Structure 1
Amino acid sequence: MSSQGTCLPDDSMWQEFKLPELLFSDAIKQQHATIENEWDSLRRSACQTAAARALWKHAIHDPFAELLAGETYLRSLYEKIKNDRLNNAREISGVILAVRTLWFDTKLEAALNSFKSKESQLVLLGAGMDMRAYRLSCLRESDVFEIDFPEVLQKKTNILQAALDSSKDHQTTKVMAKSLTKVAADVRDDDWFKKLQMAGFVPQKNTVWILEGILYYLSHSQAMQVLKIIADSCALAHTVLLADFMNESSTTLSSSIFHFYSDWPDQLLPSLGFTHVALSQLGDPDAHFGLMNDPLSLFNKLRRLPRTVQTNPDDGTPCCRLYLVQASGSPKHTTS
């Protein structure tokens, strides 16, 4: 992360809103028109995440985030950010997604460095518009697998290809990882892990699993099945899980979209077989990146309240928390 990512930008940073010319090419406009007309809220969340990465570019280097987000989501988030700045809001829209991205990036690199063998695997469940395989140099020795709905994977491929066709710089879409394999599968189904193995995933190889912005869209049984499959891999190889969890109060933000929650993921994961679990909240020392320094922000207020408190005593609102969790296990620590 650059030194620019250690502080909030001034107002002039947010005023520099200029969409890239490529976004208005017929090929890319057509791709985003399909997203607008055919995708549901779960699939569209991939574009919303990309928009946050694009507009928080002072902290995150993701050169294709604008093209993958699309005009609709970029303009929508920019307007929210502009209003937040005008109203002197303590939390600027998109900051949660920015911090979440940086947390996953940082923990991923640390996990890869912890492996004794340089050769490793990264699995991105619900990869969406994720570009880590293209932008993170720490993946040079890693085989990356992106799992998502076939139409989401194809849409990202189409947008990147359209950008490549329209650009003179053919290095812009170069994969930085050792390899990148796209696996068309729905993690809500029983066969996603089989499809992953058929695509070349090796259960005996050290692996990092990233579940960013996906678990709470699943039902309880679906999420538990996914977590159990990953936990079982600890018996075969050094396995690191990086995931974000909503608490129960957070699911009330949209009861029709969010389903799975865990108020105590640091207790849940050991019960499944992980031997080392660390939990962070937004604003913690490893989860703010200079973007959440205001001690009176909502996130810092929540950190000071016991996790058992469900209602904020200041204003009676639900204590909506997002937990960033790292869990790991390896064969030598696995008990039968």
Structure 2
Amino acid sequence: MSEEEKGLLEEDDTWQELKIPDLLLSDTVRELHALIDSEWDSLQLSACQTAAGRALWKHVIHDPVADILAGETYLRGFYEKIRKDRINNAREVSGVILAVRTLWFDSKLEAALNSFNDGETQVVLLGAGMDARAYRLSCLKESNVFEVDFPKLLQMKTTLLEAAMKSANEHQQLTMTAKSLTRVAADIRDDDWLEKLQRSGFLLERNTVWVLEGIMYYLSHLHAMQVLKTIADNCALSHTVLLADFMNKSTTTLSNSIFHFYSDWPDHLLPSLGFSDVKLSQIGDPDAHFGLMQDPLNLFNKLRNLPRTVQVHPDDGTPCCRLYLVQASGSPNQTIP
């Protein structure tokens, strides 16, 4: 990095020059991430990319293990994107959408848990990836958390966290904030994932928040609908809250897209499946802003000012790629309109 570039970045001390933690440079952790790079597919690798984004947006997301879960390669790659955006005065710095999404899920999860009047609560992270909420959110102190994902991903995650806990450096104070944490090896595209979840201690009759962050659009339409219907069916047994993000069709049909499932109207879809209360936000809305969307000409602010039926931006002819943040709920006594 040139002195001029370094100076531009240091004007805002939010973006300091990247410093790789010593633990990440150890032979043990480097060997683990080498295995990840060589053996994981694009879906699994996206978990490391998400962790890297959270690590680099640490001024708003306080995740004590995001850097270890991301790995040196993804940290450096993500930091390079942020560096270029800052130098070019980009209206949207790389990772801002991930930061807003994370903060939205955090805030809605806490609110959902507070809405449960009594009894023990459960939080299920479907397609948990490298999520570390069980180690960083105090609102989970009375909740039993279940992480559901591929067997080899969960095993690697466990091994990396064990290395972090044993480290005598910056991670020595790492402790779990959730009441309990159970990792469930299952593919949510299979028919038996709920059965495996139950065998691991999940109770259908207990109040539950289901977190589906950054996972729905990787699924086929068939698998996504099956997952949503399975969760909706739980509304008949207990107070159920679903937190999920949905892409619209324009996003998934881009030429380089690796995504499949989409919904232009998730606030219409979810009631048809059995949820009685659905609230939808877009990036930049009052509850999906967090002080990170100040520029009125930011891409996401521009999209919010267009009707959701508009698929192509009238100013430049580019597709209107939207991300919807959706909260839905239901209970045994609900009345579906």
TM above 0.5, yes or no, is yes
User: In structure 2, what residue type is equivalent to 1:228?
Assistant: K
1:202 alignment partner AA = L
Distance of 2:45 and 2:126 partners within structure 1: 16
Determine the C-alpha separation between the residues in 2 that align with 1:170 and 1:321.
Answer: 37
- Find the counterpart in structure 1 of residue 67 from structure 2: 66
Residue in 2 that maps onto 1:189:
190
> How far 1:12 sits from its partner (Å)?
2.9
**1:279 and 1:197 mapped to 2: Cα distance?**
30
One-letter amino acid matched to 1:48: Q
Shift in Å at residue 150 of structure 1? 0.5
In structure 1, the residue corresponding to 2:280 is in which secondary structure?
strand
Counterpart-to-counterpart distance in 1, 2:169 and 2:284: 41
Q: Alpha-carbon deviations, 1:99-155, whole Å to 9, x = none?
A: 000000000000000001151000000001111111111111100000000011011
Tell me if 1:52 matches 2:49. Answer: no
Determine if the alignment matches structure 1 residue 325 to structure 2 residue 331.
no
Q: Which residue of 2 aligns with 1:273?
A: 274
Matching residue of 1:22: 23
Conserved? CA contact 2:121–2:208, under 8 Å: yes
Task: Give the Cα–Cα distance (whole angstroms) in 1 for the partners of residues 307 and 257 of structure 2.
Answer: 28
Look up the SS of the partner of 1:13 in the other structure.
Answer: coil
Contact preservation (8 Å) 1:217, 1:257: yes
Pairing 1:145-156 to 2, within 5 Å after superposition: 145-156=146-157
Deviating more after overlay: 53-62 vs 154-163: 154-163
The answer to whether residue 80 in structure 2 is matched with residue 79 in structure 1 is yes
**How far 1:256 moved relative to its partner?**
5.5
User: The residue matched to 2:67 in structure 1 has which SS?
Assistant: helix
CA distance in 2 between partners of 1:305 and 1:267 (Å) = 19
Deviations 1:149-171 (A, max 9, x none): 00110111111112223326886
Task: Give the SS at the match of 1:332.
Answer: coil
Correspondence 1:135-174 to 2 at 5 A: 135-167=136-168, 172-174=173-175
The runs of 5 or more residues in structure 2 that have no matched partner are 1-9
Equivalent residue, structure 2, for 1:91? 92
Asked if the contact 1:234–1:334 (Cα under 8 Å) also holds between the matched residues in 2, the reply is no
Deviations 1:254-313 (A, max 9, x none): 656200000000000000000000000000000010011110000000000000000001
Q: In the superposition, relative to structure 1, how do residues 10 and 307 fare at CA in structure 2: closer, same or farther (>3 Å)? A: farther
Q: Secondary structure in 2 aligned to 1:333?
A: coil
CA separation of 1:80/1:274 partners in 2, compared to 1, >3 Å: closer, same or farther? Answer: same
CA distance in structure 1 between the partners assigned to 2:246 and 2:237 by the alignment? 25
Q: What one-letter code is carried by the residue in structure 2 that aligns with 1:313?
A: P
Contact 1:247–1:322 (CA<8 Å) still a contact in 2? yes
User: Does the C-alpha gap of structure 1 residues 168 and 72 become closer, same or farther in structure 2, counting only changes over 3 Å?
Assistant: closer
1:255–1:193 Cα change, 3 Å: farther
AA at the equivalent of 1:113: N
Correspondence for 2:232: 231
RMSD: 1.6
One-letter identity of the residue aligned with 2:158: T
User: Do the aligned partners of 2:251 and 2:257 also contact (CA within 8 Å) in 1?
Assistant: no
Q: Determine the C-alpha separation between the residues in 2 that align with 1:170 and 1:287.
A: 30
For residues 10 and 230 of structure 1, the distance between their equivalents in structure 2, rounded to whole angstroms, comes to 47
Cα distance in 2 between the residues matched to 1:13 and 1:233: 43
Aligned to 2:253: 252
Asked if 2 retains the 8 angstrom alpha-carbon contact of 1:250 and 1:319, the reply is yes
Per-residue CA distance 1:148-204 (angstroms, 9 max, x = gap): 000110111111112223326886332111110000000011100000001000000
Judge which range, 166-175 or 97-106, deviates more: 166-175
Percent of matched pairs sharing the same residue:
73
CA distance in 1 between counterparts of 2:321 and 2:171 reads: 44
Paired position in structure 2 for 1:117: 118
1:297 corresponding residue in structure 2: 298
SS of 1:11's partner is: coil
TM-score normalised per structure 2: 0.94
Task: Tell which deviates more after alignment, 313-322 or 326-335.
Answer: 326-335
Query: Pairwise mapping of residues 213-224 of structure 1 onto structure 2 (< 5 A)?
Result: 213-224=214-225
* Letter in structure 1 aligned against 2:139: C
- The answer to whether the Cα contact below 8 Å between 1:279 and 1:326 also exists between their aligned partners in 2 is yes
Q: Report the Cα offset of residue 13 of structure 1.
A: 2.3
- What is the deviation of 1:87? 0.6
User: 1:201 matched to which residue of 2?
Assistant: 202
